[in-house]
Structure 1
Amino acid sequence: MASLTPDTNLASYFDHTLLKPDSTAADINRLCEEAMQYRFAAVCVNPCWVPLAAERLQGSGVGVATVVGFPLGASSTLTKMNEARDAVAAGAAEIDMVLNIGTLKSGLIIEAEKDIAAVAEAVSGRALLKVIIETGLLTDKEKVIACELSKSAGADYVKTCTGFSAGKATPEDIALMRRTVGPEMGVKASGGIRDLAAVRALIAAGATRIGASASVAIVTGGSGQGY
């Protein structure tokens, strides 16, 4: 029988995540309550819910993360910058932006880096920036380039997946990303994470943050679909 006692040390790795389009205010309130109860690092919500999450979590020590250019990464750089600024003004302390995947795959490396750098500058000193490279759409060579660009552009983390496209977080990808960025950047595993064994393997491979909707089930020793 699975233990119902939360692993509080493990919980500190988690962004407790709810990004479904039909999420309600009641869902966000419950997400925040769970994040405070289990002491997760942050909640990750869609931008429209940042003010509510920031209000609910004020003074709790749990951060508010949101997404920018989500889920395709194909918004203009100016749009991403404005999204990020608006989110920070509303109370977000962490921004998970999606890489311009098509630009990278076109070999337009300078343009892809400028896209990240512009958002990094927009939130500099006010929020952490995580770059979602969407590993399921990239070759290993492209994953390395995406990580190198994120690092040189001033991002704080690289992240595997949106969860809305191909692929999921794997230890192999986390290890590749960690080797590329070195010890000074964060590496976030996200996408298809449903059980404790998977989380421990991802952390062992170099992940410093875990994005999951099944966070409660995982830290209490079980598994599940989550939100």
Structure 2
Amino acid sequence: MITRTTLPEPSVVAGMIDHSLLRPELTSDDVRAGCALAAARATASVCVRPSDVRLAAAALAGTPVLVGTVVGFPHGSTTTAAKVAETRESVTDGAAEIDVVLHIGRLLEGDAAYVRDDIAAVVAAAEGRTVKVILENALLDADAKVLGCRLAEAAGAHYVKTSTGFAHGGATADDIALMRRTVSPHVGVKAAGGVRSLDRLLELAALGATRFGATATAAILDDLAARRTAAG
């Protein structure tokens, strides 16, 4: 387990990072460059926009880096049928991981059946591939966060995730601790939004985060390498 006082191997930290390539202004060349960075650093995955899945799959062919994408992004308010169609197309195009935004409004009004079934439909469409459920915690109170985590697990999701990175808040220490307490040990917790430094990553890992969405991947891993060198 990573703690705040240890300096893990760079490969361990890289294997916890989903290198994020989701900004709307990214060009195809930007996506290719991001995939090259992910391959060079051996990250767990890249997380790309749905229209970039084929491009990323081609760029990362022959590497261990997985291709992930987003569904119902960033608001979660598309219909279940639309989320299922997005998932199926992304799987066909080469996605191995799906980060889906749950229906925030339905969660806040307590429509547990809708939220659970919406997620379960995406899990089924993913056909065994990893599904991470984005709660967008900045818009939720503690009760809604707990309910969202429980519904995601009940629907068969593999991870719960803090944020899209496009709302007004990102991953917090309190949220990571709450989510880790709420889901079973076999369900992972992904921190996204504001994970821009090695210290932040290590802090959240010590609280139970097992995957990280990050754009500052190179800076985080370079800092780790420098600190390990300085430590001898």
- Counterpart code for 1:178: R
Deviations 1:96-126 (A, max 9, x none): 000100001111111111100111111122x
Give the corresponding residue for 2:223: 221
Give the corresponding residue for 1:143: 145
Distance 1:110 1:166 in 2: 27
Distance 1:24 1:65 in 2: 18
Give the corresponding residue for 1:106: 109
Displacement after TM superposition at 1:166 (Å)? 2.3
Q: Does the 8 Å CA contact 1:144/1:177 hold for their aligned counterparts?
A: yes
**Aligned: 1:132 with 2:134:** yes
1:203 to 202, 205, 228: 205
What aligned pairs does 1:5-154 form with structure 2 within 5 A after superposition? 7-125=10-128, 127-154=129-156
Unaligned runs of 5+ in 1: 1-5, 223-227
Aligned residues: 216
Displacement after TM superposition at 1:51 (Å)? 0.2
Displacement after TM superposition at 1:173 (Å)? 0.6
TM-score w.r.t. length of structure 1: 0.93
Aligned partner of residue 16 in structure 1, secondary structure: strand
Distance 1:218 1:155 in 2: 28
Displacement after TM superposition at 1:182 (Å)? 2.1
Task: Give the CA RMSD over aligned residues.
Answer: 1.0
Deviations 1:75-112 (A, max 9, x none): 00000000000000000000000010000111111111
Distance 1:163 1:17 in 2: 10
Aligned partner of residue 43 in structure 2, secondary structure: coil
Unaligned runs of 5+ in 2: 1-8, 225-232
Moved over 4 A (4+): none
- Counterpart code for 2:22: L
Give the corresponding residue for 2:230: none
Aligned partner of residue 223 in structure 2, secondary structure: coil
- Counterpart code for 2:183: V
| Bigger shift: residues 7-16 or 84-93 | 7-16
Q: Does the 8 Å CA contact 1:8/1:219 hold for their aligned counterparts?
A: no
